[in-house]
Chain A
């Protein structure tokens, strides 16, 4: 369980995040949705203290994160982002094993876990274990990134547009397997995206952010039915409009 309480981040006079409060339940996937610059990434990074809040509190399982050393906190929380950041001088297996090693797991447990988690992200361990990151396709790198985030069996996973750079087919596949994976593991997820469709498909609840503020927080259904304001309504109507346009095209092509 993650609680944000009146969380705020300022850079000089610029307010990046303007006092947001929310709660992510255990096993839930909360999507933070908004345009670039709305403060969603900053909010996410304040959870594992990659960004230190100017004011407000983050609590994990009731514990104030300021009480925990930053690096120790991050070892408990999986983190993945769009640019992946696989270490080029390490093999796939070594990349995945980074956090377990930092935690001092015994080598044989690490080896077992690496194979297990690679298999879970649909990369055959025998084939991929010893590969260098540069030998992988973009989609494969994203999978390794996800495996690295999950390797130390974290209860919480923070993802910042992790599938943003993928082609549509790969993205579709990886989104489906991701939902399966997180349900199997029971991981609590905070997921940042600017893609409406992705938010609707993956989120148990969606928090819409605009100019540093949390505009509305609710299930996809609630957001679609009762948007809090014109911005949310506009946002929610976009995928529907697109779907209708696609259907019209398909319909006219069929006739």
Chain B
């Protein structure tokens, strides 16, 4: 718990920044828009319809969509305005959260103003108010409780939804939840949940007290609540400014996808860079799989680890393997360089293959050793895959090459997959060969006897920007090549997953061992 507490101030501050900016923008857009709608009724279906549609998009998807949407927009701005938008990190999170916050505020602004007694509107006109005075002195004050109710709804939603901005590269309390789920660290998950719930309650209550104070004309309440709100804003803005100003040297941004091995590898690379070059580093964790690649391509992260087979199948979209399996690595390196200018400082020295795994005892009793053996009995078995597995090229190749047809298949979070097969919930899973839980749960991996799954050498990817500007970092990374073998990686993964050690500690121990 204590090592999680150390992370709390940073994550909480980042979360607060996201929330306050998104709510500020959401309210700043929605209230005027709501007023406009009450003045021009013809706009109502369009505006409210748009906000409703934003609301019905699942929040995780809305956040994810922002990445390619901003990338496309960024290409336009780069062409016409001379600057590129950042499609990873704060910007997509802020845009998505702002859109998400709009509906309740917008709808309540419209409802609040429309709910004002027509007699009062007539009186306001009769006493000689201009439309603007009528709005500011009569309609908005009377609609205030309804508008504030909408703002409070939006606040609770945005605080909760902001935890989902972690996979698009914006740090938030979601970092606790995503990494905790992946590394089976439930202290971390709990920390993320409690902290975001507490933040939601705090903000909600501050706004409530502010409203009560305004409506009842109680100066002390208004002053107190505004004070707390102001302090939160100053804290968020101040830490943002401090982070920007205090940074003499831009940190090397090390990315990680959302699973244990990635957390460990990003820590190893970050600590290694710091030790070898003295450059500061910054972790950008729990990125979506393709988000990470896009991020390194556009230079929003400097380096991360990926797998040659993933790039071969998913990004290069190759359906067949070369004669020599070793040619995959060279092909990938050439493609990265030529197509995207991404450098490959080296392979780390181990493979993390996709492999079909099952309980050792069941495999032995059925006499299964290879995928070909499995294909004969697959009709009686159920397979579980990680969230992307069944959409990946590797699965299509396996199905085609072996004629695999399972009784049923289920997608699940990779963190739960191993438990599911060990507990007999499913019979076969799409395992990762370096996962420590394979040994821990006595699972066996079936041999890909027809060789359809590409090799998955773990490789470091460095952004074009890093190649240009930080050759010393690139050189340091090259010295890390070949230093991690499969057994070491399995051990490290297991230490995190089973023993609940932090990826940072495990990485530090590993690097200390290297030094000897």
Central interface residue in B125, B127, B142, by most chain A CB within 10 Å = B127
Query: B142 contacts A48, CB within 8 Å?
Result: no
Whether B133 and A81, one on each chain, are in contact in the complex, defined by CB atoms closer than 8 angstroms, is no
* Nearest opposing residue in chain A for B123, CB measure: A85
A84 sits at the interface (CB 8 A): yes
B6 within 8 A of A: no
A129 sits at the interface (CB 8 A): no
The reply to whether the CB of B323 lies closer than 8 angstroms to some CB of chain A is no
Q: Nearest CB to that of A72 among chain B residues?
A: B128
How far is B119's CA from A83's CA once the two chains are assembled, in angstroms? 6
In chain A, residues 91-128, which have Cβ atoms closer than 8 Å to a Cβ of chain B? 98-99, 102-103
Q: Do A87 and B123 touch across chains, with their CB atoms under 8 A apart?
A: yes
How far apart are the CA atoms of A17 and B126 in the complex, in Å? 20
Number of A-B contacts (CB under 8 A): 54
Bitwise, A60-93 to B at CB < 8 A (1) or not (0) is 0000000000011111100101011111110000
List residues of B (361-379) whose CB comes within 8 Å of A's CBs: none
Q: In the assembled complex, how far is the CB of residue B128 from the closest CB belonging to chain A, in whole angstroms?
A: 3
- How many chain B residues sit at the interface, stated as a range, is 10 to 19
A50 proximal to B (CB < 8 A): yes
A to B CB contacts below 8 Å, 7 in the list: A48-B126, A81-B122, A85-B120, A85-B124, A87-B120, A89-B141, A89-B142
Given the known inter-chain contacts A85-B117, A99-B128, A102-B133, please indicate yes or no for A50 contacting B123, CB distance below 8 A: no
Q: Is the interface of B mostly helix, strand, loop or mixed?
A: helix
Write the residues of chain B forming the contact surface with A, with a CB cutoff of 8 angstroms.
117, 119-120, 122-130, 133, 138, 141-142, 215
Choice from B117, B126, B128, B141 contacting A81 with Cβ under 8 Å: B126
Query: Smallest CB–CB gap between B222 and chain A, Å?
Result: 15
Determine if A148 and B127 form an interchain contact, defined as CB atoms under 8 angstroms apart.
yes
Most chain A beta carbons < 10 A, residue from B120, B126, B138, B141 = B126
* Whole-angstrom distance between the Cβ of A78 and the nearest chain B Cβ: 9
Nearest B residue (CB) for A82: B119
By beta carbon, the residue of chain A nearest B214 is: A89
Cβ-neighbour of B127 out of A72, A75, A89 (below 8 A): A75
Contacts of A148 in B (CB 8 A): 127
Nearest 3 CB-CB pairings of A with B:
A85-B123, A75-B128, A79-B126
Nearest-neighbour CB distance to chain B for A161, whole angstroms, equals: 13
Chain A residues lying within 8 Å of B128, measured Cβ to Cβ, are 71-76, 99, 102-103
A76, A85, A99, A103: residue with the most chain B Cβ atoms closer than 10 Å? A85
> In the assembly, what is the distance between CA of A99 and CA of B292, in Å?
63
Contact partner of B122 among A85, A86, A99, CB < 8 A?
A85
* Given the contacts A85-B117, A88-B142, A89-B141, A74 and B127 also touching, CB distance less than 8 Å: yes
* Complex interface: chain A residues within 8 A of B130 (CB): 71
Output the nearest chain B residue to A102 by Cβ-Cβ distance.
B128
Identify A50's interface contact among B117, B120, B122, B133, CB under 8 A.
B122
